[in-house]
Amino acid sequence: MTPGTLLRLLCVDDREEDAELEQLSLSRAGYRVEAARVASEDQLAEALEGHEWDVALLDYTLPGWDCRAALRQLLAARPALPVISVAGTIGEETAVEMLKLGAADYVAKDNLTRLPFVVGRALESASDHRARLSAESALRASENRYRRMVETAAEGILVVDEQFVITFCNLRMVNMLGYGAGELVGRRLSDLHVAADAEFRTDEEARRRAGESSQYQRRFLRADGSELWVNVSASPIFDDDGSFAGSLAMVADISEQRDAEGRLKQALTGTVAAMGALVEMRDPYTAGHERRTAELVVAMADRLGLDRETVETLDLTARMHDIGQIAVPAEILTRPGRLSQNEFTLVKAHPQVAYEILSSIDFGRPIAEVILQHHERLDGSGYPNGISGDDLLLEARILAVADVVEAMSSHRPYRPALGVEAALAEVAAGAGRLYDPAVVEACQQVFAAGFVFEG
């Protein structure tokens, strides 16, 4: 206790001189005492109304008033107020009784030298109690805020244990999958994945155990067996000793987004088909060239093990890679004889023309860039910009080989079809100099596996 510490003291005592002695004992110990004395139930009620007290001293002997009733009145009005029982003589039985009823401590009137110590201990205990109550209240408030955040979150929330059994899910998750309250808890997370995702699910569980987070889009099964596209952001949970304890996942319903992407893809595919048809209408001798080239690049990309998005990009790109030929006069495209230098210069401009047409369209993929580069060569001898080596996009390297093989295999106004064998020999001869060797090898493997152009 710091000397001069304010002590707001409430004395419940019928004898004024006893209350004064108690105050004197506390003042001598260094307290700055502000005190009031009450001697009846009504006075006590008035003193408790609108006044703050640090400690109460309760006389065990109150004529015409039971000290037990006074203690109950004090604690009912101020549960956190430390009440010290004071008695002329106090035996063990009396002290125990008062402590059981809620008194913080007791002291005998003939030993008031002990009073400052008892008051100091009671104040410290009360302070600790208030701090504990405050912490508990803050914790409950925090838990309530967290619970409201979890339950009102726009995304579904899943928590699984170390065996990937669901231990918690919020209301959004339950509603998203069409389950009743509590029906998801206890199920394995793998139960929510479609059967085709078994290997993927195993790999993801291994990543969580290794401490890795990930984000992915997959199909979840709803309670009625229907499928729902979701975006999942999952992170591992570890206990205090660093052992894997489970995983937390945020799950968003992206079914509408996927539907919109599907419609956009259909529209894009239709646009690409229209562009290809436009080129073929002007040059009937190369009808089907872009479509057949697309067939080959898809097969080659699959052989190279490229991801699905890259394969789709190549398919779309190949189906309109000659769109720039709309700037070339039709009589040049269909001329059976050799072209003049100026005419060939016009033809060589078609990748640049295509780029200028397509670059303003946001495909979300490098389609315009790939078309711009599909006549470039590894050694820089291609056109229109003479770029080489690593500056060539992989998709452009694949399209370049497929374009040559299909063109040589098909009839042209200026020559008959040369056939697949001659076309493969041509690209093989240029492997490492004109064409990417790995791409050429993939092309050869595709034909060796039985690939044939359709139509």
Rounded-to-integer distance, Cα 114 and Cα 107, Å: 7
pLDDT tier, 221 (very low <50, low <70, confident <90, very high otherwise): very high
57/319: higher pLDDT: 57
- pLDDT at position 21 is 92
Q: Do strands 6-12 and 32-38 pair parallel, antiparallel, or not at all (unpaired)?
A: parallel
Count of alpha carbons within 13 angstroms of residue 453, beta-carbon side: 21
pLDDT tier, 230 (very low <50, low <70, confident <90, very high otherwise): very high
- pLDDT at position 384 is 92
- pLDDT at position 332 is 67
CB atoms closer than 10 angstroms to residue 445: 14
Rounded-to-integer distance, Cα 331 and Cα 431, Å: 34
Mean per-residue pLDDT for 232-237?
A: 93
Mean per-residue pLDDT for 27-47?
A: 92
- pLDDT at position 283 is 66
Mean per-residue pLDDT for 426-445?
A: 94
CB atoms closer than 10 angstroms to residue 309: 10
Residue 216 parent element (H or E): strand 214-221
Q: Are 221 and 232 in contact (CB under 8 A)?
A: no
pLDDT at 351 over 70: yes
pLDDT at 199 over 70: yes
Q: Are 395 and 310 in contact (CB under 8 A)?
A: yes
pLDDT at 342 over 70: yes
User: What domains appear along the chain, each with residue ranges and CATH number?
Assistant: 6-146 (3.40.50.2300), 156-253 (3.30.450.20), 258-448 (1.10.3210.10)
pLDDT at 336 over 60: yes
For residue range 122-141, list pLDDT tens digits in order: 999 888 888 888 888 878 87
Give the length of the chain: 455
Mean per-residue pLDDT for 286-304?
A: 88
- pLDDT at position 414 is 61
**pTM, two decimal places:** 0.49
- pLDDT at position 428 is 94
